[in-house]
Structure formats: structure tokens, C-alpha cells
């Protein structure tokens, strides 16, 4: 009994000489995004000497959006955001006068504080442009 060449190829391992190598895998779906590194939520920024430990206390507190509560705390000179569903992320800014902060994932945090007294707002802008407003 004699087997044809294509049938032998199927029985052999690979068949790369006839069929070629496998194509590369497809790109990741767009909803996963590629703008931030995979471990962006765990990023720790270098200490910024322009930001004094006392100077970020004004942003600390509990911010609410409906039933959700987000907490901003200071750890030494670092400002940390503990957000439901996102875990804890460090945020940074160019200097302490800035109201514009961001995390390593590219999410932007805009603090608005009243000139006198308690209160304040935090606007979070996601990579896809989704905005949420949190009130302290």
C-alpha cells in the first residue's frame, strides 16, 4: 500500500515545509487598551522633592459617588487613592500647587477644594474619557 505525499505530511509533525509556519496571534481586543503597562496599578513613583509631606494632606479624605466611597490618604510624601474595584494606586503631580494628578495607568485626578472650610470634589477621567465626580 502506497501513501501519497500530502497524506504523509499530515502524519508527520509540523508540515512547515509544505504549509508554512503558523500565523502570529491576533492583536488584543481594543477594549483592553495598550496605553499603560500591565502592572501600572502597582507602580511606585520616585519621591518628588517639590511635594512636601504636609502639602498633600489637603487632598486626603473620603469622597463619595452614590453608595461608593473612595479614600485618599497620605503616606509620607505619597498620595494614595483607594478606589472600589481598582485597589490602591499612587498618584503624582508635577508640583504641590497642581490640582491635576495622575496614576501610572494614565487615569487623571482633578481635585477642586473650596477656598475656606471643608468639602471638595474629585473628578476622575478614565483612559476612555469616562468621567466620574466624587464629593468629599
pTM of the entire predicted model: 0.68
Average pLDDT of the segment spanning 98-103: 89
30 is a domain residue: no
32 is a domain residue: no
Give Dmax over CA atoms of the chain in angstroms.
Answer: 95
Which pLDDT tens digit goes with each residue over 40-87? 877 888 877 777 777 788 899 999 999 999 999 988 778 899 998 888
The closest of 128, 21, 117, 109 to 70, measured between CA atoms, is: 109
5 is a domain residue: no
Whether residue 113 is predicted with pLDDT greater than 50 in this model: the reply is: yes
Write down the pLDDT at residue 34: 44
Tell the burial category of 73 from Cβ atoms under 10 Å away from its Cβ (0-12, 13-18, 19+).
middle
Question: What is the domain extent for residue 88?
Answer: 40-135
Tally of domains in the chain:
1
Amino acid at each position: 500500500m502506497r501513501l501519497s505525499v500530502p497524506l504523509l505530511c499530515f502524519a508527520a509533525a509540523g508540515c512547515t515545509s509544505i504549509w508554512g509556519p503558523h500565523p502570529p496571534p491576533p492583536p488584543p481586543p481594543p477594549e483592553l487598551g495598550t496605553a499603560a503597562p500591565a502592572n501600572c496599578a502597582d507602580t511606585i513613583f520616585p519621591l518628588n522633592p517639590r511635594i512636601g509631606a504636609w502639602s498633600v494632606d489637603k487632598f486626603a479624605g473620603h469622597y463619595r459617588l452614590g453608595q461608593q466611597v473612595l479614600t485618599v490618604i497620605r503616606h509620607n510624601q505619597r498620595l494614595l487613592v483607594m478606589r472600589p474595584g481598582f485597589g490602591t494606586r499612587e498618584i503624582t503631580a508635577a508640583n504641590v500647587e497642581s490640582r491635576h494628578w495622575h496614576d501610572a495607568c494614565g487615569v487623571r485626578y482633578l481635585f477642586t477644594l473650596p477656598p475656606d472650610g471643608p468639602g471638595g470634589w474629585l473628578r476622575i477621567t478614565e483612559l476612555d474619557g469616562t468621567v466620574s465626580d466624587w464629593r468629599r
